Amino acid sequence: MPARVRLQRMLPSIASVALVAFVMLVLFGPIVLLAVLSFDKATIIALDWQGFTTQWYREMWANTNLRAAVLNSVVVAAIVTVISMVAGTMAAFAITRFRFHGRAAVAGLVGAPLVVPWLMIGVGAAIFFFHYNVPGLFPLSLHSVTAVQVACTFPLVTAVVAARLARFEGVQEEAAIDLGASRLQVLRHIILPQLTPALGAAAIFAFSWSFNNFEIDFFVGGYDQTFPVWVYSELRRAPNLPIINASSTLISFVQVLMVVVAWRLLRGHDDEDGSSVVDALP
């Protein structure tokens, strides 16, 4: 084959690889750069490596504001995840296992927080709590953040779990009941084993959504700082670069691990084409 023809045949795949490589570079290059810089002795951004150090990680650990902010984020995310799992799974069962009047409307309402931008929910909630002086939620604090985040996060759990529930419709449950299983036995032996991977993945995504939810934290948090709000306010004031590099690297590393685990859970018991993963995407 002449070289020109061979090149022409290969051109599309070269273009594909180039496109994918470029997008991935733009998406992850900056984060990888942060990780590298977090171990560099230099306090300003520089191309030449000034030497390896873990100093920024020690300073990060010594920073009480940062530690408090991360702890706030983790506690809020943990509580939000637990409540969202319960409420989200309840809604998923109601929507997939029952036919009733208003089902479409309910499904639409539960899905709405996934589409309405968090800015409006945050602004609305802040004004609502303030204006009606809602007890427990005003003055604004981590309590109000947790409450509003539940409303933003449990629909995600509903989406993931409902996608899974829809895949094994009621056939097996009916069969089990025909064979004399009680309602609890059906739940324990039929539904839970099939649902566990989706539940695990949903929990991880819920935690991640809550942890990352800057808009709600910002508008509804009052004087309480979470990790995203801490980074935001640090960046607006004197930029404390190395310590932000270090904390961002650490947080990103944990998030990478979590996403990989969620991915394995969703794929583990599943078909090979991964369509369930796509179904379950937020």
Partner 1 sequence: MTAAAQPSKQRWKRMQRGMTPWWLLSAPLVILGVLFVAPLLTLFLIGFQHNSLLQVGGWTLDNFRTIFQTQSYRHIAVTTAEIATATMLVQLAFGLPLAYVLAFKAGRWELPLILLLVLADELNPIVRIYAYRVVLGREGIINKALEAVGLVDPNHPISWLLFDNFAVVVVLSTSYITYTVIPIYASMKAIDHSLIEAATDLGAGWLRRAWKIILPLSAPGIFIAIILVYIPLYTEFATPTLVGGTGSYMLGQLNAELITETGDLGQGAALSALLLAASGVLAAVAYYLSRLNRLDT
Residues within window 97-156 making contact with partner 1, judged by CB under 8 A = 97-98, 100, 103, 106, 109-110, 112-113, 115-117, 119-121, 123-128, 130-132, 147-148, 150-152, 154
Stretch that binds partner 1, among 2-10, 92-100, 160-168, 189-197 (CB under 8 A): 92-100
**Least CB distance to partner 1 at residue 172 (A):** 12
What is the identity of the amino acid at 131?
H
**Least CB distance to partner 1 at residue 245 (A):** 8
Residues touching partner 1: how many (CB under 8 A)?
98
Q: Does 192 bind partner 1 (CB under 8 A)?
A: no
Q: Does 24 bind partner 1 (CB under 8 A)?
A: yes
**Least CB distance to partner 1 at residue 133 (A):** 13
- Subset of 252-281 contacting partner 1 (CB under 8 A): 252, 255-256, 258-260, 263, 267, 274-275, 277-278, 281
Q: Does 57 bind partner 1 (CB under 8 A)?
A: no
Q: Does 191 bind partner 1 (CB under 8 A)?
A: no
Q: Does 179 bind partner 1 (CB under 8 A)?
A: yes
**Nearest to 122, CA basis, from 217, 27, 245:** 217
Of the residues 76, 202, 218, 242, which one makes contact with partner 1 according to CB under 8 A: 218
**Least CB distance to partner 1 at residue 64 (A):** 20
**Least CB distance to partner 1 at residue 58 (A):** 20
Q: Does 235 bind partner 1 (CB under 8 A)?
A: yes
Element (H, E) at 278: helix 275-280
Contacts of 225 (CB under 8 A, 6+ apart): 65, 68, 69, 72, 233
Q: Using omega within 30 degrees of 0 as the cis cutoff, is the peptide bond preceding 139 cis?
A: yes
The DSSP secondary structure of 33-91, one letter per residue, reads HHHHHTTBS-SS--SS---B--HHHHHHHH-HHHHHHHHHHHHHHHHHHHHHHHHHHHH
Phi, psi torsion values for 135, nearest 5 degrees: -65, 140
Q: How far apart are CA 66 and CA 230, in angstroms?
A: 7
